[in-house]
Structure 1
Amino acid sequence: MKVTQADYVISAVGPAQYPNNGLPEFALAGRSNVGKSSFINKMLNRRNLVRISEKPGKTQKLNYFIINDSFYFVDVPGYGYAKVSKKEKEAWGRMLETYFAERTVLSAVVHLVDLRHPPSKEDVQMHEFLAFYKRPVITIATKADKIPKSRQQKHKQIIAQTLSLTPEDPLILFSSQTGAGKEEAWRALEHYLH
């Protein structure tokens, strides 16, 4: 995929604000500190399109980015340890449920997990939630550069087992530092664009 254009469009809190031009969307979901912003910036060859926050849990809306005028990346609020009130968390939960359950142009969900650690309880819940809504999932294991090559397969197996992935389910090792996995990730996404 040659990215010639990538722009921030809108931060939406509900269906009334979603773009309505019918273009395909890829949602990016993951824990608050999994490296979603770095993933998006690396995939789009942009250093600061998405601001990388020191404080996890910064994304509180659905942030839309249009790519090549032909599809969207939708950065959804991270789950995990964002320091927000219970009320805010419930509002996020409703917003995400509405989006994942009802959004017809959602082509696939990129689920980011940290290669260094076994998937968390929330990671498993997210995966089951997406399976329930029959959403195609591309699992991306971030921070691959932090694990020696000799141990990467073992970590990959733990993720596959914990999330009950089948051999057909895409599971890609990714590093926003080195760019490893970027081409593979684009191939997995392009599969859902045609």
Structure 2
Amino acid sequence: MRLSPVFLLSATDVAHFPTEARTHGAPEIAFLGRSNVGKSSLINALLGSKEAHVSSTPGRTRAINFFALHEGAGEKKKVKPTLIFADLPGYGYAKISKSISSEWPTFIEPYLSERETLALGICLVDTNIPPQPSDTQLIHYFQQTQRPYLVVGTKADRLSNNVLAKSLAALKQAHEIEEILPVSAKTDAGTKALWGRLMAVAE
């Protein structure tokens, strides 16, 4: 099923989050990861469009950007969205991590802990680099708050099958998790499986 994305708004404060009147209470999927993990590229690959802004400078997303995904297109588009995507600011990039970190408690943490319509957090980890403590921190946050989450390994196309298998094993061990879904925004590998998980949330 093809979903057409509509940009809703950018929020830099709890008061800016979209109201139920805007979202019709549709389940929200939050995309989180370190700056430069390929978050915007993956969102665009899933949507088949250029809704999420891809920047060559890591850490450019400083707000939570909300996109409503509707069945159908044009006049046939259903009023209630099937899903809402929330693209969250990246973290862990040295030059801007302090300013981003200072913003987390003000509006990102309340979104993750208090947002009733948040149905799934997609924690993105880069399969091309060693496990990062900041990723472990995020995954543990979801575990402690008992929020549903899925860990997705990005840029999987850059590694051979053997190297990818070793990388995924190392990431699972470091982050103390049982599953990582490898994907590639470039080749679309794994995106179909990811869509399956997202649609299960919608249902």
Q: How many angstroms does 1:15 deviate by? A: 2.7
2:78 is aligned to none
Q: Which runs of 5+ in 2 are unaligned?
A: 71-80
Report if the CA contact (8 A) 1:3-1:45 is conserved. Answer: no
Write the letter of the residue equivalent to 1:30.
G
1:164 matched to 2:166: no
1:107 matched to 2:119: yes
> Normalised by the size of structure 2, how large is the TM-score?
0.88
Report if the CA contact (8 A) 2:9-2:65 is conserved. Answer: yes
> Normalised by the size of structure 1, how large is the TM-score?
0.91
1:189 is aligned to 198
1:57 is aligned to 59
More helix by share: 2
Residue deviations 1:72-101, cap 9 Å, x none?
110011001153374553123332111111
Change (3 A) 1:132 1:149: same
Distance 2:99 2:132 in 1: 22
Write the letter of the residue equivalent to 1:49.
E
Report if the CA contact (8 A) 2:131-2:175 is conserved. Answer: yes
2:184 is aligned to 175
- Aligned residue runs from structure 1 range 1-194, under 5 A: 2-21=1-20, 22-46=25-49, 48-68=50-70, 69-81=81-93, 83-84=95-96, 86-166=98-178, 169=179, 171-194=180-203
Report if the CA contact (8 A) 1:142-1:173 is conserved. Answer: yes
Q: In angstroms, what is the RMSD of aligned CA positions? A: 1.5
Residue deviations 1:27-56, cap 9 Å, x none?
00000000000000000111x211210110
Aligned residues: 189
Distance 2:5 2:113 in 1: 26
Write the letter of the residue equivalent to 1:35.
G
Report if the CA contact (8 A) 1:60-1:92 is conserved. Answer: no
Report if the CA contact (8 A) 1:30-1:111 is conserved. Answer: yes
Distance 1:94 1:16 in 2: 11
Q: How many angstroms does 1:118 deviate by? A: 2.4
- Could you tell me the percent identity over the aligned residues? 34
Report if the CA contact (8 A) 1:56-1:82 is conserved. Answer: no
